[in-house]
Chains A and B, each alone.
Chain A
Amino acid sequence: MIKDVPHRIPARLYTDPDVYADELTKIFYGKHWSYVGLEVEIPAPGDFKTTFIGERPVIVTRDQSGEVHVLENRCQHKGMRLLQAPFGNVGKGNRIVCAYHQWCYKLNGALVGVPYRNGVNGKGGYPPEFKLKEHNVGRLRVACYQGAVFASFAADIESIEEYLGPVVEPYIRRTFHGARLKLLGYTRQRIRGNWKLMQENLKDPYHPALLHAFFVTFGLWRPDQKSKMLTDAKGRHAVMISTRSTGGKNDEVTAGVTSFKEDLKLADPSIIDVAVEDWWGEPTVVMQTIFPSVIIQQQVNSLSTRQIIPLGPDCFDFVWTHFGFESDDEAMTQRRLRQANLFGPAGYVSLEDGEVIEFSQIAHRGYPQGEVLAELGGHDAEATDHMVTENMIRAMYGYYKDVMRS
C-alpha cells in the first residue's frame, strides 16, 4: 500500500526550471528505466536508431552477434554527437566513426582507433599513457523486454521485471506477448506542456468520457464500463484496464455531458470496426504508463508506444510508434491503420489531449502559485474497480515526492 500520497499538486512543479533540472538528474538520469524503442526498429546487425533519454542524445545499436546496446550519442574527443540520422545502418565495417576527427568505436561503444595516434613523421600524436579503453563511449544498462528496449544511466538498477513490478508487468507482457512485431510507422508532435502532464493524462480515467466525445459516444471508454485502475507497489507506473460497451445513452454517464453526441453518426463506421484478438482476454483497452518515459497503448486494435522526451519545464516531444504483429493479415493491418485516425497529433481523441495539456501549461505559467486538485475518489492511492478516481495520479506524485526529496 502506498502511503502519504499528495492530493494537491503545486503548479510550480510544471513551470520551475530548478525543479525540472532536478527531475532530469533524479528521474531521467537516475535509477529508472527509460523506453528507447522497439527491437523491430533495428532488426539487422549494424542497424541503429538515435533518440533521447531526458535531454541526452543516445544511440540504440545492434551488433554482429545480435546484441542490443544503448550508448551515449557523444564522441569522447570533442563531445560531438556521433550519429545524426534518426535511423540507419553503420555499414559493413560495423563501426561508429565520428565525422569530426574519425574516432572509431565498436557498436558496443568501445573505442578501437584514433587517427595519428603515434603522430606523423615521428611528430605529435597521443602520449604513451593515452589508453583507448579509457575513452569508450558511455554505455547504458539495457533491458530488451519482449521486443521493447529500455535503458538506464544507473549501473545499479533493478531488473526491468522488478522495475515494472508484479501488478503492472503482466499487462505489458500481454501486449508484448512474444509475437514478432510489425512496425507501421511514426507520428511526432512537440507539445508545449510539462512532461508530467502527459503521464497524468494517461493516469486520469476521469477525462476520457468527458473530453473525448468520440470515446463516450461510441463506447470505447466510459465510466459505465467494467474497469480496473492499478498501480505498481511504488505508485510510479499504472494500468488502466477496461472493456468496451455499446456506447449510447446512459443518464448517469451522459446527462449534461456536452461532449456526448447522441446524434453523432459515422458515415463510414469502418474506423471502429473492431476485431477481437486472441491475446486480449477480457479487456479491450489497456493503457500503461511506465514512469517516466512511455505510454504503451492498446485501444481495441490500435497499438502504439508513446515516448516522452522532455525539453525544458514547458515542452516535450511526443513520439508515437504504431505497430502490429507479423502474423497480421492485410485486413488486420488496414484495421489498425484506420483506427490510428483516433490517435496521434491529428487523432480524433489524442489531438484533444495535446490541446488540453497546452491549455494547462499556459495557465500554470501565469499562476505558478496555484494548485492542481487530484481528489476524485478520495485521498488515497488504492487500486479501484471503477474509473471515477484520480488514484493513479496521487500514486505517481507519492513516488515523485520521495524521489525528488532523495
Chain B
Amino acid sequence: MNTSASLARDFAWYARHIALGELYQSYAHCLDSGDLTAWPGFFTDDGIYRAQGRENYDRGLPLAAIACEGQGMLLDRVNVILNVMVYAPRYIQHVVAQPQVVSENGSELLARASFSVFHTLPHEPTALLSVGRYEDTLAVMADGTWKFKQRLAIYDTLLIPGSLVYPL
C-alpha cells in the first residue's frame, strides 16, 4: 500500500517533470522557428512576460527591455515583430536547461531554468545574443497542461549586441 502510494507520487512527479521539460522546449522552438503566432498561447489570459536585465532585477528597478501584461500586449508584440518593425533578418536558437521546480502551491508552481540564445545575422558568423535564466510562475489549466502566469527572462548579457528582436 505504502509502496504503491509512493510509486504513484513518483510517477506524478516524473510526469510533471517531463511535461514541464516539454513545455520549455516547445516555448523555445516557437521563438526559434520565427513564427511567433503561437507565443501568446504559452501564457494565461493575464500572463506577464518581461525580458529584464539582471542589474534591474537585482536592484528592484522595474524597467524591462520587453514588458507585456496580458494577451493583448503579447499579441501586439508578435504583430509588431512580424509585420511592423524594420530589422535585419536573423535566426535565433535557444538552449534551455531542464526546469527546476522551486516551490509549489496548489495549482501554481515556481520554476526556473537557465537559457542561452544564439543569433545568426546575414553575412555574419553565429554569435551569443543572451544568457540568463527564466524565473517562472506556472498555472495548471483545466486540461492538466501548464501555462505561464508570469515569465521573467532575466538576462546577464546586459550589453545587448545590437537589437533584441525576438523575446527571450
A17 CB within 8 Å of chain B: no
Residues of the A chain whose Cβ atoms lie less than 8 Å from the Cβ of B76? 266-268, 271
Contact mask for chain B residues 96-110; partner A; CB cutoff 8 A; 1 contact, 0 none: 000000000000000
Pick out which of these stretches binds chain A: B5-13, B22-30, B140-148, B158-166: B158-166
**A186 and B55 contact, CB distance less than 8 A:** yes
Q: Give bound CA distance, A169 to B69, whole Å.
A: 38
**A346 and B72 contact, CB distance less than 8 A:** no
Q: In the complex where A189-B160, A345-B164 touch, is A214 in contact with B67 (Cβ < 8 A)?
A: no
Interface residues on A, range: 35 or more
Residues of the A chain whose Cβ atoms lie less than 8 Å from the Cβ of B86? 211, 259, 352, 355-356
**A341 and B67 contact, CB distance less than 8 A:** yes
A185 CB within 8 Å of chain B: yes
**B83 and A344 contact, CB distance less than 8 A:** no
**B159 and A267 contact, CB distance less than 8 A:** no
Most central of B59, B66, B68, B76 by chain A CB within 10 Å:
B76
Residues of the A chain whose Cβ atoms lie less than 8 Å from the Cβ of B164? 189, 345-346, 351
Q: In the complex where A341-B66, A351-B85 touch, is A187 in contact with B53 (Cβ < 8 A)?
A: yes
Q: Give bound CA distance, A271 to B66, whole Å.
A: 12
**B65 and A348 contact, CB distance less than 8 A:** no
In the complex, chain A residues 335-352 whose Cβ is within 8 Å of any chain B Cβ:
337-338, 340-341, 344-346, 348, 351-352
**B65 and A86 contact, CB distance less than 8 A:** no
A140 CB within 8 Å of chain B: no
B51 CB within 8 Å of chain A: yes
Q: Give bound CA distance, A271 to B56, whole Å.
A: 21
Q: SS class of chain A's interface: helix, strand, loop or mixed?
A: mixed
Residues of the B chain whose Cβ atoms lie less than 8 Å from the Cβ of A354? 162-163
> How many A-B pairs with Cβ below 8 Å?
123
Residue of A nearest to B71 (CB): A267
**A346 and B163 contact, CB distance less than 8 A:** yes
Residues of the B chain whose Cβ atoms lie less than 8 Å from the Cβ of A187? 53, 63, 65, 160
Residues of the A chain whose Cβ atoms lie less than 8 Å from the Cβ of B63? 184-187, 322, 337, 340
Q: Give bound CA distance, A184 to B63, whole Å.
A: 5
In the complex, chain B residues 70-112 whose Cβ is within 8 Å of any chain A Cβ:
70-73, 75-77, 79-80, 83-88
A376–chain B nearest beta-carbon distance, Å: 20
B78–chain A nearest beta-carbon distance, Å: 10
B128 CB within 8 Å of chain A: no
**B87 and A185 contact, CB distance less than 8 A:** no
**A192 and B73 contact, CB distance less than 8 A:** no
User: Which of B53, B67, B87, B158 makes the CB contact (< 8 A) with A340?
Assistant: B67
Residues of the B chain whose Cβ atoms lie less than 8 Å from the Cβ of A345? 65, 160, 162-164
**B70 and A268 contact, CB distance less than 8 A:** yes
Q: Which residues of A contact B (CB under 8 A)?
A: 86-87, 183-192, 211, 213-214, 259, 261, 264, 266-268, 270-271, 317, 322, 333, 337-338, 340-341, 344-346, 348, 351-352, 354-356, 358-359
Q: List 18 A-B contacts (CB under 8 A).
A: A184-B61, A184-B62, A185-B61, A185-B63, A186-B56, A186-B158, A188-B53, A188-B158, A188-B160, A213-B84, A267-B76, A267-B79, A317-B159, A345-B163, A346-B165, A351-B85, A355-B88, A358-B88
